[in-house]
Amino acid sequence: METLLQVRVAARKVVAEDVVAFEFAPLDGVELPGFEAGAHIDVHVPGGPVRQYSLYQLPDSLPRYCIGVLRDPQSRGGSVRLIDGVKEGDILSISRPRNHFQLHSGPDHAMLFAGGIGITPIMCMAEQLAREGRSFELHYSGRTPARMAFLDRLRSAGFADRVQVHSDDGAADQLLDARAVIGSPVVDRQIYVCGPTGFMDHVLSSARELGWGESHLHREYFAAAPIDHSTDGPFEIELSHSGRCISVKADQSAAQALIDAGVPLSLSCEAGVCGTCQTRVLAGVPDHRDLYLTDEEKHEHFMPCCSRSCTPRLVLDL
């Protein structure tokens, strides 16, 4: 089991309509692990679920973790409990930072696209790229400026001239035209996108239609749309290391069946967006339900927290 970190809520601030930023500081005598842009932490919401939040500010000499939380009444309660229930001085349990959304190393130009609260990892990426003197541009889209967090911070940043803000309620000539911005594929360019599912799908499908390959597309989903389980059936998982077979019932996730059978498996989002539970599949045809794997990765990998099987048996590298 992962060891959790204890942190103190050092600051809590409303940074846009329905968005609150929290700053977590270490308890006395403890140093928080460093991280790179794109990292997220799991926050154990008091009395509630575990939720993932991207870190929006790069660490200075002594890391503090800063997250932005969007009040989402449609969510499973994590954001509302955090915003309404957590105050400065409270102690929270969090995970160490994890990063499934890293910047490519090297001199490639980065095209950063953020939709709404998706600005959190994207702003951190912009800060890192600016610190490293690398080339980038940032496109930040939202419904209205009042709901777009960190606009002031971006406008006063040293890289403000590389930020374009697109608000749905603004003039037609400032709306994001993803196809025009992305253009034809360029070998030394990378595209990074984070935000609501519809926004991300729009940016990614625009890039694909223009001919961009998957290796140039990088994304981080915040939440998955609800998965329809009404047609789920049972299947078996064979563990390649031991040959052991585990039955997955129709009303049970593969991850739950594995954990119940004593197989060590790390879980975080349990919704197919964070990448924590990724395993290799050696035989059988998975029924992929996640948003994390690329089409190419789906040939070899499987997310047991949400995905199932098209064949009676899957063999996993466990």
Containing H/E element for 85?
A: helix 78-85
Nearer to ligand FES, 39 or 305 (CB): 305
Q: Which candidate, 20, 70, 24, 80, places its Cα nearest to that of 47?
A: 80
Stretch that binds ligand FES, among 23-31, 179-187, 215-223, 262-270 (CB under 6 A): 262-270
Does position 276 bind ligand FES by CB under 6 A? yes
E-assigned strand segments in the chain? 5-16, 19-26, 40-44, 50-54, 65-70, 91-94, 109-115, 136-142, 163-167, 189-195, 217-221, 235-239, 245-248, 279-283, 286-287, 301-302, 308-309, 313-316
Using the rule CB under 6 A, give the single segment among 74-82, 159-167, 185-193, 271-279 that binds ligand FES.
Answer: 271-279
275 binds ligand FES (CB under 6 A): yes
Residue number of the CB atom closest to ligand FES: 305
Distance in angstroms (rounded) separating the CA atoms of residues 249 and 269 = 21
Out of 141, 167, 268, 279, the residue judged to bind ligand FES by CB under 6 A: 268
**Which sign does the torsion angle of CA 165, 171, 175, 177 carry?**
negative
User: Is 286 near ligand FES (CB under 6 A)?
Assistant: no
Q: How far is the CB of 219 from ligand FES (least distance, A)?
A: 14
Helices (H), 102-235: 119-131, 151-155, 178-182, 197-209
* 26 counts as binding ligand FES under rule CB under 6 A: no
Residue 254 binds to ligand FES (criterion: CB under 6 A): no
- Residue with smaller CB distance to ligand FES, 133 or 226: 226
| 213-252 footprint of ligand FES as x/- string (CB under 6 A) | ----------------------------------------
Check residue 265 for interaction with ligand FES (CB under 6 A): no
Residues of span 289-318 touching ligand FES by CB under 6 A: 290, 292, 303, 305
Quick check: 140 binds ligand FES (CB under 6 A)?
Answer: no
CA 111 to chain centre: 17
Residues that bind ligand FES (CB under 6 A): 267-270, 272-277, 290, 292, 303, 305
